[in-house]
Amino acid sequence: MSAVSDDLIDLVRTFTEKEIIPIAGDFDAADEYPAGLVEKMKELGLFGITVPEPFGGLGLDYSTYARIVEELAYGWMSVSGFLNTHFMGCFLINSFGTEEQRERFLPRMATGEIRAAYSLSEPDAGSDVAAIKTRAVRDGDEFVVNGTKMWLTNGLHADLVVMLVKTEDTDPPHRGMSVLLVEKSGGELEYEGITVSRKIKKLGYKGIETVELHLADQRVPAANLLGGEAGLGMGFRYMMQAVELGRINISARAVGVARRAFEESIRYAQERQAFGKAIAGHQAIQFKLAEMGTKVHAARLLMQDAARKKDSGERCDLEAGMAKLFASEACWEVCQEALRIHGGNGYAAEYPIERLYRDAPLMIVGEGTNEIQKMVIGRRLLEEYHV
């Protein structure tokens, strides 16, 4: 890691301690969008971490990005969500966009002037991406888009939605999909043919909106077809490469939440007295702490391995899938044990464990359920160990 990366991690850690942790509980309880906090994230340059320097970003690697996500999630998991879909959009435009698209979008994305959402799922198509129905029909220099998209994180406040659509009927279906860069007015419920039709209420992951987006004859310039004419029919491949980054993000979030739950627990266990001594002195609690600490450490190593593979430019769906699977399950298990160690206090909203416990399941289903991860991992292992 470079000195710049280490300095930035220290800066983010301090930012988390001073700006995020003190307000997380209140904003989570109110399910309120922390506009002021997002502005401070822009001032720190966090929205441009991975954007190349020629476009105004810091040009840092995904290994550094993952470490930053871990630190932010340690304070409040929702905050890391503001970056995930944004950087998936940055990745797609930088990797597959035309030079004109990179010059038009990336400098403003680096400053946070434009924030991106990533749109793949639909009401009847989540893991089965080939079943999407949102269609874009070419009409001269525009595409006319109709359909409904689901589970858009940042879907209301985003100014740009990187959206997978059907542009042609093909067999197999994924060969007829493309990606459109759909511009809208961030914060507005309606913009031309785009309507934020509902905000989805969730168990956890509060303070950041997850919405359904409806498009009715929305006209998108053909210039916003990702990759230009060469990108027609390439959307599925593009989006799956972005999902690798999303799964690294999820694993980093899981590590951050699990580390917070573990550290809260090991501190509480040394302070809480029962039967004449701190509960940390009881073997039952020590065994729990031993397993929790081991899971956090192992999850971080898997996350770092996947990030390094992504940095190398190699395919990393196997490593990202393994990291996401293990880290998310470990996070859920660590949070459950943290609640047990805290006893009744773990169930009380005045302690952070209650929030961590509600946030943890998101990592199990986010960026592809863990059942899907097992399918991806199994398929890739059979490719690598083919007899």
- Catalytic center residues: 367
Angle at 23 between CA 21 and CA 26, to 5 degrees: 125
How many residues are given for the chain?
Answer: 387
Contacts of 252 (CB under 8 A, 6+ apart): 65, 66, 67, 69, 70, 73, 80, 303, 307, 327
Residue 159 region by backbone torsions, left for phi larger than 0, else alpha for psi between -120 and 50, else beta: alpha
In the block, which residue shows the tokens 């290994």?
63
CA distance 30 to 124: 30
Q: Can you read off the two tokens belonging to residue 148?
A: 């409904």
Q: Would you give the distance in Å from CA 175 to the centre of its chain?
A: 26
